[in-house]
């Protein structure tokens, strides 16, 4: 019998701690698949975030580092400057990257750091029990916006890709989602392009992945996927935002 | 930093540099190749110097977007196995505390220079020693210590920065150089003798890509019950070991001294002058200068206190190190304090007046008082 699809070797054989319907497992698996097929397991250094994905190093069989809340771009800069020929990626959530770590990501982009950032945006703080994120949609109910996010008091959802695209040092920026098998395949392609941008030393790359948090969205998994397609994708449009290979 | 010739032959000759420049050059001589900083007075000569020198030796210099980013770049380079350093001054060091706690919690070696200025808050830019608590009692969150070295001259700044890299690698812990605006900006002759051990020991735990080996993880997160306590016990064992082996101090004229001064850094320079002046009298003043503020020379101070009449701690703070002196003395002799704060620097005459105040019955007191009035 011929195996046509199996668990990637870089993905450690264990049950994950993620909730049912959470997108993190899908994204981490895609990273493992790419590292496997490119033979990059031993040439890669990853950064785990704070929040739900802090235990990413329990699932990816590669050298990995933790970073303080919001600081992965600075920590990754320090790693990449020591190992310019290793593939370095940072895995960040919406609170990590767009709230406390906004300065670090903007300046890493501005320096054109040759690093790939994987930005998992589920528009909520999962680990701390569902508080508002910078990317929470207007009207979205969270533990700190019980009657829905209100622009007057809470500001607007921040569009990270569009913000970083105007920075001269950024090279490749794309927004994708994990809402369907088709979108997952696009996400894998975007991650591959992000990594290739780095391997070819073209500079800063960021892939934003619209992801799900059924528990704190108070939805079942199917509803959560619909929410990504119908609500999130409207505020955060999918597609390539900046591409160094695109024809001018 | 005008007209400095960086050739090896030149650097082994005696030359005039500021403490900040000496710290930077010593780091480079010690093999540091990753420097991340952010400008703040009074340590700017250090970052300026690094911006010129690091590219010359094939190293990395980044002017980070903040002190927070700088310490986290240090964290990354340390995790990746590089010899790395940052420097700042009091308000900037406060910003770095989160990163310093993570460095201690991930057992990463690095060197951090704090050229202290007056505080709290924005304070001022003149010399102070008011960050002692922050430096030796933790500073960030959690149960941890830094090795804290306090130079009192430009030459000693160079020597201690050099040693700091060795200590940080040996114990896998951040080492803090605690200077102040006077030590940082003062110019004195310094030389950088060629020393061995420029290279770090093999770092099998570092992140280099897991080719041909099991993966390495650099972290300080222990969510499973009991694991964090076990890790903390391991840290405390390490700190005990450091306390056992790395205590450094200088003792001046302490045999049969009537008063023993305890001071470090700039205060110690002033106290040395007091010791020197007292030699002209039959009243004897000695001095203990802790070089490691952590581990603190508590055993030595306790031993001396058994025969001393009294101890006077002199600091440029409202009284911080004096608490460690009192803990060391354990009530064996009276401990007095004289301090200036908010950027005030004590004059030797002020210290002498304080000595007179605490030993009023002594026959030599009047002569001391006269001496204090001599400009």
Inter-chain residue contact A63 with B74, CB threshold 8 Å: no
Look at residue B364 and tell me whether its pLDDT is greater than 90: no
Contact across the interface for A64 and B79, Cβ inside 8 Å: no
pLDDT at B196: 64
Using CA coordinates, name the residue in chain B closest to A64: B217
Compute the average pLDDT of residues B318-344. 97
User: According to the model, what pLDDT value does residue B360 have?
Assistant: 63
> pLDDT value at position B193?
79
A78 to chain B: which residues are within 8 Å by CB? 34, 36, 72-80, 82, 84
Residue A73 predicted with pLDDT over 80 = yes
Q: Region B136-147: what's the mean pLDDT?
A: 96
Determine whether the interchain pair A75/B221 forms a contact, defined as Cβ–Cβ distance below 8 Å.
Answer: no
Q: Report the C-alpha gap between A212 and A21 in whole angstroms.
A: 7
| B4/A246 Cα distance (integer angstroms) | 48
Chain B residue numbers touching A97 (CB-CB < 8 A) = none
Nearest C-alpha of chain B: how many angstroms from A1?
31
Nearest Cβ partner for B217 among A43, A57, A68? A57
Tell me if chain B has a CB within 8 Å of the CB of A67. Answer: yes
Nearest to B208 among A63, A73, A111 (CB): A63
In angstroms, the separation between the Cα of residue B71 and the nearest Cα of chain A is 8
Cβ–Cβ below 8 Å for A64 and B217 = yes
Contacts with B216 from chain A: Cβ below 8 Å:
63-64
Q: Which residues contact A138 (CB under 8 A, 6 or more apart)?
A: A148, A149, A150, A151, A156, A157
Poorest-pLDDT segment among B19-33, B178-192, B351-365 = B351-365
What's the whole-number average pLDDT of chain B?
Answer: 93
What is the average per-residue pLDDT within A45-69?
96
- CA torsion, points A77, A80, A84, A90, in degrees to nearest 10? -110
Per-residue pLDDT band at B361 (split at 50, 70, 90): low
pLDDT tops 60 at residue B362: no
The string of pLDDT tens digits covering residues B129-138 is 999 999 999 8
- What is the arithmetic mean of pLDDT over B288-311? 96
Q: Is the pLDDT of residue B374 over 90?
A: no
Question: Residue B152 corresponds to which tokens in the numbers above?
Answer: 């009192």
Tell me the average pLDDT across B15-27: 96
More confident residue, B363 or A140: A140
Using an 8 Å CB-CB cutoff, list chain B residues near A57.
215, 217, 219
Residue of A nearest to B97 (CA): A68
pLDDT band at B2 (very low <50, low <70, confident <90, very high): very low
Of A41, A48, A107, nearest to B210 by CB-CB distance is A41
Q: Which of A118, A112, A121 is nearest to A158 (CA)?
A: A121
Which residues, 6+ apart, have CB-to-CB distance to A137 below 8 Å?
A123, A149, A157, A231, A232, A235
Say which of B72, B75, B207 has its CB closest to residue A45: B207
Query: Which chain A residue has the Cα nearest residue B218?
Result: A65
**pTM recorded for the entire structure:** 0.96
| Residue B141 Cα, gap to closest chain A Cα (Å) | 13
Q: Does the pLDDT of residue B70 top 50, yes or no?
A: yes
Segment B329-348 shows an average pLDDT of: 96
A226-233 average pLDDT score: 98
pLDDT tens digits, one per residue of A87-103: 999 999 999 999 999 99
Q: Does A17 touch chain B (CB under 8 A)?
A: no
pLDDT in tens, A17-38: 999 999 999 999 999 999 999 9
Mean pLDDT calculated for residue range A150-160: 98
* Residues A118, A178 contacting (CB under 8 angstroms): no
**Token couple for B19:** 């403490």
pLDDT tens profile A182-209: 999 999 999 999 999 999 999 999 999 9
Q: How confident is the model at residue B366 (pLDDT cuts 50, 70, 90)?
A: low
Q: Is it the case that residue B340 has pLDDT exceeding 80?
A: yes
The model's confidence at residue B1, banded by pLDDT at 50, 70 and 90, is low
Nearest to B219 among A43, A66, A73 (CB): A66
Cα A151 to Cα A162, A163, A233, A234, B68: the distances in Å are 19, 19, 19, 17, 30
Does the pLDDT value for residue B363 go beyond 60? Answer: no
Tell me if B117 sits within 8 A of B127, measured CB to CB: yes
The residues near B92 (Cβ < 8 Å, ≥ 6 apart) are B38, B40, B67
Q: Is A29 on the interface with B (CB under 8 A)?
A: no
The model's confidence at residue B179, banded by pLDDT at 50, 70 and 90, is very high
């Amino acid at each position: 019998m011929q195996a046509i699809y199996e668990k990637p070797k870089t993905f450690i054989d264990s049950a994950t701690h993620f909730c049912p319907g959470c997108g993190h497992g899908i994204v981490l698996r895609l990273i493992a698949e790419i590292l496997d097929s490119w033979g990059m397991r031993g040439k890669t250094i990853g950064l785990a975030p704070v929040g739900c994905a802090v235990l990413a190093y329990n699932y990816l069989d590669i050298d990995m580092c933790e970073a303080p809340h919001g600081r992965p771009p600075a920590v990754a800069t320090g790693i990449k400057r020591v190992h310019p020929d290793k593939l370095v990626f940072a895995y960040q959530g919406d609170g990590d990257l767009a709230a406390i770590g906004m300065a670090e990501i903007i300046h890493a982009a501005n320096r054109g750091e040759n690093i790939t950032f994987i930005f998992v945006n589920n528009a909520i703080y999962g680990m701390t029990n569902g508080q508002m994120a910078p990317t929470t949609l207007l009207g979205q109910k969270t533990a700190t916006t019980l009657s829905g996010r209100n622009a007057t008091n809470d500001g607007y959802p921040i569009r990270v890709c569009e913000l970083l695209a105007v920075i001269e040092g950024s090279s490749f920026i794309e927004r994708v989602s994990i809402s369907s098998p088709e979108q997952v395949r696009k996400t894998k392609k975007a991650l591959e392009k992000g990594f290739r941008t780095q391997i070819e030393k073209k500079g800063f790359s960021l892939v934003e992945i619209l992801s799900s948090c059924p528990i704190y969205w108070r939805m079942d998994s199917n509803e959560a996927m619909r929410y990504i397609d119908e609500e999130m994708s409207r505020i955060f449009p999918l597609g390539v935002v900046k591409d160094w290979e695109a024809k001018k | 930093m005008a007209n400095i010739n960086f050739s090896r032959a030149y650097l082994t000759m005696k030359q005039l540099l500021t403490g900040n420049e000496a710290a930077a050059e010593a780091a480079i001589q010690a093999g540091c190749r990753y420097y991340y900083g952010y400008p703040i007075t009074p340590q700017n000569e250090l970052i300026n110097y690094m911006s010129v020198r690091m590219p010359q030796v094939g190293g990395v210099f980044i002017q980070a977007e903040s002190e927070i980013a700088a310490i986290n770049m240090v964290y990354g380079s340390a995790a990746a196995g590089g010899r790395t350093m940052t420097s700042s001054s009091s308000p900037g060091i406060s910003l770095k505390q989160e990163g310093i706690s993570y460095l201690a919690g991930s057992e990463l070696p690095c060197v951090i220079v704090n050229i202290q200025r007056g505080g709290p808050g924005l304070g001022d830019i003149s010399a102070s020693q008011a960050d002692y608590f922050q430096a030796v009692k933790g500073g960030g969150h959690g149960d941890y210590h830094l090795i804290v070295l306090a130079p009192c001259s430009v030459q000693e700044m160079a020597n201690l920065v050099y040693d700091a890299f060795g200590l940080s690698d040996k114990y896998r812990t951040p080492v803090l150089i605690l200077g102040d605006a006077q030590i940082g900006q003062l110019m004195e002759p310094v030389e950088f003798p060629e020393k061995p051990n420029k290279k770090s020991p093999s770092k099998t735990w570092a992140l280099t890509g897991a080719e041909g080996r099991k993966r390495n993880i650099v972290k300080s997160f222990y969510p499973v019950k009991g694991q964090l306590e076990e890790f903390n016990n391991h840290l405390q064992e390490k700190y005990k070991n450091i306390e056992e082996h790395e205590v450094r101090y200088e003792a001046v004229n302490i045999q049969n001294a009537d008063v023993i001064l305890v001071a470090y850094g700039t205060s110690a320079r002033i106290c040395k002058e007091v010791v020197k002046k007292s030699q002209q009298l039959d009243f004897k003043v000695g001095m203990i200068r802790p070089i490691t503020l952590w581990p603190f020379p508590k055993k030595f101070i306790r031993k001396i206190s058994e025969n001393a009449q009294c101890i006077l701690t002199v600091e440029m703070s409202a009284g911080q190190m004096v608490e460690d002196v009192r803990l060391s003395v354990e009530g064996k002799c009276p401990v007095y304090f004289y301090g200036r704060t908010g950027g005030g620097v004590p004059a030797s005459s002020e210290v002498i007046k304080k000595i007179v105040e605490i030993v009023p019955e002594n026959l030599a007191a009047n002569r001391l008082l006269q001496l204090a009035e001599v400009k």
